[in-house]
Amino acid sequence: MKILGIETSCDETSAAIVERVSGRSSVKLLTNIVATSLTLHAKTGGIIPEVAARQQVEYIIPVVKKALVEANLYPRSSKIELLSSTFYRPEVDAIAVTVGPGLIGSLLVGVETAKTLSLIWNKPLIPVNHLIGHIYANWIRTIDHEPSTINFPAIALLVSGGHTDLLLMKSHGNIKWLGGTRDDAAGEAFDKIGRLLHLPYPGGPAIEKAAQKGDPKRFSFPRPMMQNPYFSAKDGPASGWDFSFSGLKSAVFREVQKTKKLDKQTIADMSRGVLDAIVDVLVSKTVKAASRYNAQSILLGGGVAANQKLTDQLQLSATHHRLNARIFVPQKSLCTDNAAMIATAGFFNYNVVDWKNISANPELYFDTAVS
């Protein structure tokens, strides 16, 4: 079975094809094409939705075509139009598409393209929640990465530019939300603080790099909500599983104002302080959740999961707390937005919906109850 994935929720336009391999619990990645408008957004220090949507329109058909060509499902030199139903119908079994959350203009491009392809090629269509997609990047097998079997229950930490969520996954499709950020997402905090420190966009990788030469003792930034009590949703408010990062941004802002000269070393030292604070909070809550729910696996997902310090600290803390859980981190290129994770989520959650009933939903989120 082969699934074509399409992802256009933000500033990446991506199409990928994954294939089921018998006897294995992961799927094989045949191709993953990602076109990004990141350089355009770097100029403005952040994403302008209108600009991102226009780029999606420009990239989508060439990107889908390239994915099919690379997977040998479309002749390289063919003159046949991708949307010409009479002459061309690729050997894919289904199409999975991101329906939300994300920027409405960007989402619409992928959703309407997928609906059109589903109709003219007569292929089943699977709507996928982008956030769940990030978690499924852990099930992707590539030439240089073969994931081991992921056992349940699992705790998933989703850390992206728009979201920070802690999730309990009891089986495929059975994902419950434990808590999330009350204000800025972890990636958003990195991006906003990066701007305060005059670092290039996106801030996450830039802060990670600058922090390498930073002094960990010079700045100690707050670790918000780290000591809040942990309840399950059944017992009461699950505030202990929630996050808050906007105070950190304000703390950095105050330090920047106090600093007479924001030289290279000061930027490195502040970056180190910020990185340590964010990683500390994320690791502490993830480890507590894994212990509380006796997790067999901890799954990272989202752009911030590409952060090496996060993985290293998580591993150290899990060992220190003698957790049974094994830690899974997607390959770096599959941490940020891509269609491979969407195709994979569609494979493990094969919930086909008629194209007429599928629409983009920028506010899509998770179920909240923990049972």
Q: Which residues form the interface with ligand KG4 (CB under 6 A)?
A: 10, 160-162, 187, 190-191, 202-205, 208, 302-304, 306-307, 336-337
> What is the smallest separation between the CB atom of 49 and Zn ion, expressed in angstroms?
15
Q: Indicate the burial class of 309 (C-beta count within 10 angstroms; 0-12, 13-18, 19 or more).
A: middle
Which CB atom, from 36 or from 296, has the smaller least distance to ligand KG4?
A: 36
> What is the smallest separation between the CB atom of 20 and ligand KG4, expressed in angstroms?
25
**What is the amino acid identity at position 128?**
V
Which CB atom, from 90 or from 301, has the smaller least distance to Zn ion?
A: 301
Q: Mutual orientation of helices 203-211 and 264-292 as an angle, nearest 10°?
A: 110
> What is the smallest separation between the CB atom of 38 and Zn ion, expressed in angstroms?
13
Whether 298 contacts 158, CB under 8 Å: no
Which CB atom, from 208 or from 337, has the smaller least distance to Zn ion?
A: 337
Length of the chain: 371
Alpha helices in 103-241 (DSSP H): 104-121, 130-136, 186-196, 203-211
> What is the smallest separation between the CB atom of 135 and Zn ion, expressed in angstroms?
11
Q: Does 255 bind Zn ion (CB under 5 A)?
A: no
Q: Does 337 bind Zn ion (CB under 5 A)?
A: yes
Which CB atom, from 20 or from 213, has the smaller least distance to ligand KG4?
A: 213
Beta strands in 284-360 (DSSP E): 297-301, 326-328
Whether 2 contacts 30, CB under 8 Å: yes
Whether 309 contacts 208, CB under 8 Å: yes
Which of ligand KG4, Zn ion, none does 214 bind, CB closer than 5 to 8 A by kind?
A: none
User: What part of residues 104-163 is at the interface with Zn ion (CB under 5 A)?
Assistant: 160
> What is the smallest separation between the CB atom of 160 and Zn ion, expressed in angstroms?
4
Q: Which residues bind Zn ion (CB under 5 A)?
A: 160, 337
